[in-house]
Amino acid sequence: MIKEVAFVAIAVSDKERARKFYQETLELKPTTAAMEGAWVEYDLGPTTIGVGCHPDWKPSRDGTTVAFEVDDIDATIAQLKERGVSFDMEKIETPVCWRRNSAILMAINWSCISANRPNEMMSQENRKGKQIPASSFKIFFLLP
């Protein structure tokens, strides 16, 4: 019935602030933009992230979230901190990640208030025999 993830849609409340965050802080390259920038797509491997701004669709700290895969988690964390991104959860290592010498962290947008979370998340595992590096960071997009 389901073939793949078509895209992941992220709600934002301020399209200009979101554009800066995704394009300057996270250095993602936009692939398409529509509705005067109220919908911007970023291709990431086989999947697309769509960042949308609409009054009936609000950002949320809760609910579905997306993990981004990076090569060097420590360098990424340092860069995000330099760029003023506040972290919802600091880097953690799970037993799975640790064996793979990597870790996951969660971050939230620079404009958000941080909340502390217990260190409980898991990592990416082998998929279909492909070795996927398990270092990821996870971002909660919450644009008040």
Partner 1 sequence: MKIKGIGFVAIPVTDVKRARSFYEEVLNLKVSDEMMSGKWIEYSVGDETLAIANVIPNWTPSDQGTGAALEVENFAEAIQRLKDRDIRFAAEPFETPCCHMAVVQDPDGNKLIIHKLKPENEKGECV
Residue 113 contacts partner 1 per CB under 8 A: no
Query: C-alpha angle 19/24/29, rounded to 5°?
Result: 75
Q: How many CB atoms lie within 10 A of CB 69?
A: 15
Residue 36 contacts partner 1 per CB under 8 A: no
Residues 12-32, buried b or exposed e (16+ Cβ, 10 A)?
Answer: bbebeebbebbeebbebeeee
Here's the x/- map for partner 1, 120-139, by CB under 8 A: it reads as: xxxxxx-xx---x-x-x-x-
CA distance 13 to 20: 13
Structure tokens at 123: 């990592």
Structure tokens at 30: 């936009």
Residue 55 contacts partner 1 per CB under 8 A: no
Residue 84 contacts partner 1 per CB under 8 A: no
Nearer to partner 1, 16 or 57 (CB): 57
Query: Interface with partner 1 by CB under 8 A: which residues?
Result: 1-11, 26-28, 32-35, 39, 41, 44-47, 49, 57-71, 75-76, 79-80, 96, 104, 115, 117-118, 120-125, 127-128, 132, 134, 136, 138, 141-142
